[in-house]
Amino acid sequence: MSTYNLTYKPFGNHAILIEWSSKIDENTLKDVVFYKNKIYKNNIKVIVDIINTYSSLTIIYKYTIKNIYDEILTLKLIYKNPLVQSEVKNYCWKIPVCYDLKFGLDLKEISSKKEMDIDSIISMHSTVIYTVYFIGFLPGFLYLGGLDKKLNFDRKPNPRLVVEKGSVGIGGVQTGIYPQNSAGGWTIIGKSPISFFDITKKEPCFSKSGDKIKFIPISLDEYQQIDTQIKIGSYQLEKELLND
């Protein structure tokens, strides 16, 4: 794993922010996730949580940090430690998405402004294998990289008050899925019946940074069938183990 020139700074009284060069890049993400797991492996008991984005880690501590320089030095030593990290399994998740106009609320608008037919938009969106960079702004909201530049589309100037759970949208250069009903300004092109955050499970969000997502187009009838299977607990989400 390559080393990067990182910056470390206090982030309030209980956290340290570590930053890489600010860009959406898979090699940067691999280094972010690698570092995150190395910190967890060191089992620093005063750390409560580690939150990653495309190019940063926020280390949250249980107590007020008394000596920021000592903590930063500890983190730097962990980063430089040459020990090989235990293997982290990543998966490619195959997510069914219905692009029917009943759910693809903004497909006609995108089609008109991009001068592309709707079938081409659907094909272009579902052909790519996306990378899960991080999870936020809602629990289970997957920020996905890899959207074809031809589908880049600005967020709405006036967000909807309610975007339905499972809605698949485009926000600028990204695509993502709303894990619950929420206000939101992304352009909506489809909907998945899958639950992306279930608080009753040991791991409420099945996916993590470094995983891949492949959207599988389904019909309206198939959407209803999968939705029924999910409700009775008989649906199994398809996944493939990634071998890096």
pLDDT in tens, 13-70: 999 999 998 878 888 998 998 899 889 888 788 899 999 988 999 999 999 999 999 9
State the pLDDT at residue 58.
Answer: 95
Distance of CA 18 to the CA centre of its chain: 19
CB 219 within 8 A of CB 191: no
State the pLDDT at residue 85.
Answer: 55
**Does 7-80 match 91-241 in CATH topology?**
no
State the pLDDT at residue 243.
Answer: 66
Query: pTM of this prediction?
Result: 0.83
CATH topology of domain 7-80: Gyrase A; domain 2 (3.30.1360)
State the pLDDT at residue 156.
Answer: 93
For the chain, the structural domain boundaries read 7-80, 91-241
Q: Does 230 score more than 70 pLDDT?
A: yes
Kindly report the number of other CB atoms within 10 A of residue 151's CB atom: 19
CB 190 within 8 A of CB 104: yes
Q: Does 78 score more than 70 pLDDT?
A: yes
pLDDT in tens, 98-148: 999 999 999 999 999 999 999 999 999 999 999 999 888 788 899 999 999
Distance of CA 213 to the CA centre of its chain: 9
Tell me whether strands 212-218 and 91-98 are parallel, antiparallel or unpaired: parallel
State the pLDDT at residue 190.
Answer: 98
CB 175 within 8 A of CB 56: no
CB 197 within 8 A of CB 179: yes
Average pLDDT over the chain, rounded to an integer: 91
Q: What confidence category does residue 244 fall into, taking pLDDT thresholds of 50, 70 and 90?
A: low
Percent of the chain with pLDDT over 90: 73
**Domain 91-241 top-level CATH class:** mainly beta
What average pLDDT does the segment 76-98 reach? 83
What average pLDDT does the segment 172-200 reach? 94
Pairwise pLDDT comparison (90 vs 103), residue with the higher score: 103
Q: What confidence category does residue 76 fall into, taking pLDDT thresholds of 50, 70 and 90?
A: very high
CA distance linking residue 244 with residue 54, whole number of Å: 19
pLDDT in tens, 51-65: 998 899 999 999 999
